[in-house]
């Protein structure tokens, strides 16, 4: 007799292990990745490094002592693996993340950096003797000693105020380091000596996301190309340019690509060093213009290669080993594939068909990908047989069995891709996730889960916070509509909502509801809508525009409520581009797209959730929405986290989140079984 499988819930979600991006050894025989485990009782996670054989064999742990060992990269010679960690070694405890190296055969990890301002991201030099890394430093100071003194003074200061004259001073969930900028440094592995490549200049990396894809090291190790903001006033929406710095002492810096209206980023040298690939977006034409693949030659000539490819490639870019193609991930109709773009024919070919391809690595002809889907969290697989141009027929082999035992004890619902006629009479995609053991002859409640962005998409992917299987396991048919404005359906579809937010998206969601309510299994008395960020905006918008009673209850997580007050967010310079005006120039136009202007119509019960550390949608948005509902006598409940940001990231807080989420729906569900 087969044992009955357990219902998947939030505790099971947090019991799963999470695999990070793989890095391959130079011979392609092994991969290293981070593996994170969470402890619900301790309310914390721990990350270590694991080794995976691409040839076959069991996964084995590489590091044990760190709490958050991450971002591992194999050295070009294969003798060391570098990673970022905060540890205690030889009586010295890291106050900031530092670089460590460890032999792949095991042993003790060795700290190789003592950067007072810490290490953000890094890449190996081709010689394997040096590492280029990013650190936030005080631009007017010279030398590590001066930086260390400034850091100590900053820690010891008694005042807590943040003072700035910058236009850009916070990002998502953190203040940008006060008075500091992100710069490139070179570390000598043997001596531990570091050098600021930008010292004495005004150059810095982009403040919003100074990550490893913002720079690359030339094959001869003599130059580093990097993206930077050339404007005097740094802003999140400024166009970036590309420059090269000579690595030698006091090396010159020269701008190699800067054009009005164009944004350039994610540079990657070809193996022969004759071409530089990068992502280019013509922001001067339209702020929603997609990123495109482009190449610059050694004569200073550049060209967009993917102009006829209506997909948006994402960083990082990786040259194929023959320098005739570029590897990158890009979405297509709610899925994220790994592609190879041929630089001669300008044709794109699918290497790995998602699901959701999250990251990848290529060495010595061995290609690995970290991927997930609605049915499973992250897995790492190696390509054994290539498929056709669409990726069909490719044979991939998993090289780990992480989470298999835990997942085997749970029954998951199947997902279904549905297309229907939405706004403007155009086809719109929706994903349905059915409850385990779904029986079409029974009645089920309907749960809309509306994605954020708005220029993102729900797809065949595993979501660690809004988990489709955890929702469906409670008995809901979960509907995820990729409404107008969503990514992965082409530039025209994405741009269609510009300057009229709320209009087409609502038409799409309502059309989906109409379609689903015609299904024999749909219980018309039990329909709910939930969403986060822009999805939270949408449920607040629905509360002011949809006749009360159609939806029994809403859940608004980190939702935008008042566009004028939203000017307190970290991306305020984008508002006029998206909405069509600044609020002081055309207040009526802004109000027409703002849920708060329709508060007099709001009557549907709503659970409002927000985190105090959310700078993308400041928590005053959620509080104002909740207060408005209470003042109007609408049934409402507030879940506010003083220690969370735009996302709920702590295990115990997530447990509380799911508990409140389901309890709210059950409270307003006329068909719920109550004890």
Does position 673 have pLDDT exceeding 80, yes or no?
Answer: no
Percent of the chain with pLDDT over 90: 94
Query: Residue 250's pLDDT is what?
Result: 84
475 and 623 housed in the same domain: yes
Could you report the per-residue pLDDT of 596-607, keeping only the tens digit for each?
999 999 999 999
Could you report the per-residue pLDDT of 107-154, keeping only the tens digit for each?
889 999 999 999 999 999 999 999 999 999 999 999 889 999 999 999
Q: What is the mean pLDDT of residues 440-446?
A: 97
Q: Is the dihedral of CA 319, 320, 324, 330 positive or negative?
A: negative
Does position 492 have pLDDT exceeding 70, yes or no?
Answer: yes
Q: What is the mean pLDDT of residues 316-330?
A: 97
401, 428, 446: which is the final residue of a domain?
A: 401
∠ CA 66-71-75, nearest 5°, is 105
* pLDDT: which is higher, 59 or 1: 59
Query: Residue 2's pLDDT is what?
Result: 52
Does position 79 have pLDDT exceeding 60, yes or no?
Answer: yes
Residue 40 lies in a domain: no
Question: Could you identify the residue written with the tokens 């993206």?
Answer: 227
Pairing between strand 302-304 and 313-319?
A: unpaired
Could you report the per-residue pLDDT of 621-654, keeping only the tens digit for each?
999 999 999 999 999 999 999 999 999 999 999 9
Residue 219 lies in a domain: no
Does position 542 have pLDDT exceeding 60, yes or no?
Answer: yes
401, 422, 439: which is the final residue of a domain?
A: 401
Query: Residue 1's pLDDT is what?
Result: 40
What confidence category does residue 68 fall into, taking pLDDT thresholds of 50, 70 and 90? confident
Does position 518 have pLDDT exceeding 90, yes or no?
Answer: yes
pTM (predicted TM-score) = 0.95
Query: Residue 346: left if φ>0, alpha if ψ -120 to 50, beta else—which one?
Result: left
Could you report the per-residue pLDDT of 168-209, keeping only the tens digit for each?
999 999 999 999 999 999 999 999 999 999 999 999 999 999
Q: What is the mean pLDDT of residues 394-401?
A: 96
478 and 606 housed in the same domain: yes
348 and 493 housed in the same domain: no
Residue 37 lies in a domain: no
Tell me: cis bond preceding 262? Omega within 30 of 0 counts: no
Could you report the per-residue pLDDT of 550-567, keeping only the tens digit for each?
999 999 999 999 999 999
The angle, 0 to 180 degrees and rounded to 10, between the axes of the packed helices 534-545 and 503-517 is 80
Residue 140 lies in a domain: no
Does position 332 have pLDDT exceeding 50, yes or no?
Answer: yes
Query: Residue 120's pLDDT is what?
Result: 95
Instruction: Count the domains in the chain.
Output: 2
Distance CA 316, CA 108 (A): 31
Average pLDDT, the chain: 96
Does position 675 have pLDDT exceeding 70, yes or no?
Answer: no
355, 378, 401: which is the final residue of a domain?
A: 401
Query: What DSSP element (H or E) covers 96?
Result: none
Query: Residue 67's pLDDT is what?
Result: 76
Tell me which residue of 538, 577, 562, 374 sits closest to 454, measured CA to CA.
538
Q: Determine which of 59-68, 274-283, 359-368 has the lowest per-residue pLDDT on average.
A: 59-68
Does position 82 have pLDDT exceeding 50, yes or no?
Answer: yes
Domain of 325, in residue numbers: 320-401
331 and 358 housed in the same domain: yes
Q: What is the CATH number of the domain that holds 438?
A: 3.40.50.1820
């Amino acid at each position: 007799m087969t044992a009955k499988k357990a219902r998947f819930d939030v505790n099971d979600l947090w019991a799963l292990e999470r695999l990070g991006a793989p890095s391959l050894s130079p011979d392609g025989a092994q991969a290293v990745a981070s593996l994170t485990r969470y402890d619900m009782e301790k309310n914390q996670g721990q990350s270590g490094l694991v080794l995976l054989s691409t040839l076959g064999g069991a996964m084995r742990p590489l590091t044990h002592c760190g709490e958050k060992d991450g971002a591992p990269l194999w050295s070009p010679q294969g003798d060391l693996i570098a990673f970022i960690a905060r540890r205690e070694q030889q009586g010295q405890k890291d106050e900031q993340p530092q670089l460590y190296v460890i032999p792949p055969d095991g042993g003790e990890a060795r700290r190789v950096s003592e950067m007072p301002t810490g290490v953000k991201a890094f890449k190996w030099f081709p010689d394997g003797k040096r590492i280029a890394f990013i650190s936030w430093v005080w631009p007017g100071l010279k030398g590590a000693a001066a930086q260390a003194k400034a850091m100590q003074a900053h820690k010891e200061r008694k005042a807590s105020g943040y003072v700035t004259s910058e236009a850009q001073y916070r990002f998502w969930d953190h203040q940008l380091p006060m008075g500091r900028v992100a710069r490139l440094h070179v570390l000598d592995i043997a001596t531990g000596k570091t050098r600021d490549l930008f010292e004495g200049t005004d150059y810095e990396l982009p403040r919003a996301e100074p990550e490893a894809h913002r720079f690359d090291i030339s094959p001869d190790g003599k130059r580093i190309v990097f993206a930077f903001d050339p404007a005097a006033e740094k802003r999140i929406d400024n166009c970036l340019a590309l420059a090269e710095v000579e690595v030698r002492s006091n090396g010159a810096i020269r701008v190699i690509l800067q054009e009005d209206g164009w944004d350039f980023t994610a540079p990657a040298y070809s193996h022969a060093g004759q071409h530089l690939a990068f992502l280019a977006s013509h922001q001067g034409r339209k702020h929603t213009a997609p990123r495109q693949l482009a190449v610059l030659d050694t004569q200073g000539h550049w060209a967009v290669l993917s102009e006829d490819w209506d997909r948006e490639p994402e960083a990082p870019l990786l040259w194929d080993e023959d320098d005739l193609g570029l590897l990158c991930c890009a979405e297509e109709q709610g899925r994220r594939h790994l592609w190879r773009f041929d630089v001669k024919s300008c044709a794109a070919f699918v290497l790995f068909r998602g699901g959701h391809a999250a990251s990848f690595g290529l060495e010595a002809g061995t290609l690995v990908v970290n991927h997930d889907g609605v049915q499973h969290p992250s897995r790492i697989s190696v390509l054994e047989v290539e498929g056709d141009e669409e990726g069909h027929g490719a044979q991939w082999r998993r090289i780990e069995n992480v989470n298999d035992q835990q997942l085997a004890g749970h029954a998951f619902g199947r997902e279904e891709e549905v297309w229907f006629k939405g706004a403007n009479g155009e086809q719109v995609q929706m994903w349905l996730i059915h409850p385990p053991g779904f029986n079409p002859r029974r009645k089920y409640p309907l749960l809309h889960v509306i994605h954020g962005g708005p220029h993102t998409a729900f797809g065949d992917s595993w979501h660690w916070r809004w988990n489709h299987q955890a929702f469906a396991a409670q008995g809901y048919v979960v509907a995820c509509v990729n409404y107008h404005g969503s990514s992965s359906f082409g530039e025209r579809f994405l741009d269609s909502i510009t300057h009229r937010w709320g209009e087409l998206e609502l038409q799409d969601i309502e059309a989906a509801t109409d379609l689903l309510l015609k299904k024999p299994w749909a219980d018309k008395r039990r329909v709910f809508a939930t969403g986060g960020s822009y999805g939270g905006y949408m449920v607040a918008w629905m509360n002011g525009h949809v006749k009360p009673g159609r939806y029994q209850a809403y859940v608004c997580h980190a939702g935008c409520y008042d566009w004028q007050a939203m000017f307190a967010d970290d991306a305020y310079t984008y508002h006029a581009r998206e909405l069509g005006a600044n609020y002081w120039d055309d207040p009526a136009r802004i109000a027409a797209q703002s849920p708060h202007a329709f508060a007099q119509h709001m009557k549907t019960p709503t659970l409002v959730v927000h985190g105090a550390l959310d700078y993308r949608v400041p928590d005053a948005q959620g509080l104002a929405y909740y207060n408005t509902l209470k003042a109007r006598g609408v049934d409402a409940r507030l879940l506010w986290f003083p220690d969370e940001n735009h996302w709920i990231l702590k295990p115990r807080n997530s447990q509380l989140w799911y508990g409140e989420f389901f309890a709210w729906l059950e409270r307003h569900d006329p068909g719920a079984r109550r004890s």
